[in-house]
Amino acid sequence: MRMFLYIVAGIVVLLVGLGTIAFQLPVATSKVVWPLIEDRMLEEPFIGVTSDGIVKPDLYRIESTGVSTEPVVQTAEKFIAALNPQQRNKLLYAVDDDEWRRWANIHISTRQGVGLLDMDENQTKAAFNLLEASLSARGLDTSHKIIKLEGHLADLMDDHNQYGSQRYWFTIMGTPSQSEPWGWQLDGHHLIINYFVLGDQVVMSPVFMGSEPVRALSGPHAGTEILQEEQEAGLALIRSLSEQQRAVAITSSAKPGNNNYGELFQDNAVVPVAGISLDALDDGQRALAVGLISLYVDNLKRDHAQVRLTEILKHWSQTYFSWVGGTGDDAVFYYRIMSPVIMIEFDHQSPVALEGDGPSRIHVHTVVRTPNGNDYGKDLLRQHLVDHPH
């Protein structure tokens, strides 16, 4: 029986690697199979997203940003204090634990940590205070909307066992500190945030934001929608390009399936350089590109977002914009911004829960990664441990 489960796990791992997950497993089956999948994927040591399988060195360093992380530390401490001993035992992990890498943006995943389902009103408030202290108003608003849309999906599917607005889990790695490394993670369907802190430095990645559907047309959350700005800003940038520039940026006009590279268990994805160099853009196009990148970076608090954007702009000549799909008003598409220090992906995906055939605008996935070994702040943590062995 166990051999059979490993075979099943192997097949699903292959599907994950190809980015073609479009299935549903019964809850009972997923509870048995999914831990095997997780263990299988974590057998591969962390390297990081790269363009060719080789990590580019010396991109990140421990240095002061001048932006205090004290509010994040304090709200994390209050969140921990609000939990009972059993909940704290589930919440807390070592700063270098593989729990960082176990996140999954699909509904069948097993979850670690303390879930909203098991929190009272005060504990839930303390958990979301941590989000509020860490994210910008825009990032917090998008997170709340994704959670609402997950509740909407549960209503549409009449399935509150696999979907729902309380099916989100928090973990904390390390001890909240203004000098020692630590971080937190939010893990659930269509919403994953990894937030690493070292002194006044922050690395917020991988971040996954998406929904199916991206807009609620009925029910208590009617009118709630997400990722429309990211969709339209991407279109604005590709449409601003000349015919010659588009010929370079568009790697395929056909989009038969899903295209994201950086989703669950793809910490070591090899993502080829493709598309047009942002260095080839004129001033107006450059402004559109910076605006598009900022939509994702600005999910961080303002001052930390500015630090992150400055880091990205230093690698402007090595940053590429690529596109798959159409460019019409109703087109489905995928775009990627890739540099040595950031990867941003936007993908219209095929339906999983709802009806449909092929990629659709009602199902969107976005991913933000920090390539070359610094997702989860791992390169900063590595440097810290060299100087401060634990």
pLDDT digits (tens, 9 = 90+) for 311-338: 999 999 999 999 999 999 999 999 999 9
**Mean pLDDT across 33-47:** 83
Confidence of residue 227 (pLDDT cuts 50, 70, 90): very high
Confidence of residue 36 (pLDDT cuts 50, 70, 90): confident
Residue ranges in the chain assigned as alpha helix (H): 2-18, 27-41, 70-82, 85-91, 121-134, 137-157, 228-240, 243-249, 283-297, 302-313, 378-387
Cα–Cα distance, 2 to 4 (Å, whole number)? 5
* Closest of 273, 359, 360, 377 to residue 317, by C-alpha: 273
Cα–Cα distance, 89 to 70 (Å, whole number)? 24
Does 15 score more than 50 pLDDT? no
Cβ count near 122 (within 10 Å): 9
Looking at the structure of the chain, the number of domains it has is 2
Cα–Cα distance, 275 to 245 (Å, whole number)? 9
Q: What residues contact 162, with CB distance under 8 A and at least 6 apart?
A: 24, 27, 107, 108, 154
In the chain, pLDDT over 70 holds for what percent of residues?
92
Its domain, for residue 238, covers: 228-377
pLDDT digits (tens, 9 = 90+) for 172-213: 999 999 999 999 999 999 999 999 999 999 999 999 999 999
Instruction: Name the one residue in this structure whose structure tokens are 């919403």.
Output: 191
Cβ count near 338 (within 10 Å): 24
Residue 190 lies in a domain: no
The token pair at 175 is 């001890």
Residue 356 lies in a domain: yes
Residue 12: what pLDDT? 45
**Mean pLDDT across 9-24:** 42
Residue 1: what pLDDT? 44
pLDDT digits (tens, 9 = 90+) for 333-384: 999 999 999 999 999 999 999 998 999 999 999 999 999 999 999 999 999 9
- Give how far Cα 87 sits from Cα of 82, 83, 305, Å: 9, 6, 32
What dihedral angle (degrees, nearest 10) is formed by the CA atoms of 127, 131, 134, 137? -150
Cα–Cα distance, 149 to 215 (Å, whole number)? 7
Confidence of residue 32 (pLDDT cuts 50, 70, 90): low
The answer to pTM > 0.75 is: yes
Residue 330 lies in a domain: yes
**Rounded CA Rg of the chain:** 20
> Residue 201 phi/psi, 5° resolution?
-95, 145
Residue 30 lies in a domain: yes
Confidence of residue 5 (pLDDT cuts 50, 70, 90): very low
Does 309 score more than 80 pLDDT? yes
- Beta strand 191-198 with 168-173: parallel, antiparallel or unpaired? unpaired
Residue 147 lies in a domain: no
Residue 76 lies in a domain: no
Does 308 score more than 90 pLDDT? yes
- DSSP secondary structure of 5-47: HHHHHHHHHHHHHHT-------HHHHHHHHHHHHHHHTTSPP-
**Mean pLDDT across 12-36:** 52
Residue 3 lies in a domain: yes
Residue 195 lies in a domain: no
The token pair at 243 is 């015919």
- Which residues, in sequence order, are bridge partners of residue 211? 364
Does 39 score more than 90 pLDDT? no
- Beta strand 320-325 with 250-252: parallel, antiparallel or unpaired? parallel
- DSSP secondary structure of 310-372: HHHHTTGGG-EEEEEE--STT--EEEEEE-SS-EEEEEE---SSS--SS--TTSEEEEEE-TT
- Beta strand 250-252 with 276-277: parallel, antiparallel or unpaired? unpaired
Cα–Cα distance, 235 to 251 (Å, whole number)? 15
Lowest mean pLDDT among 32-46, 108-122, 221-235, 361-375: 32-46
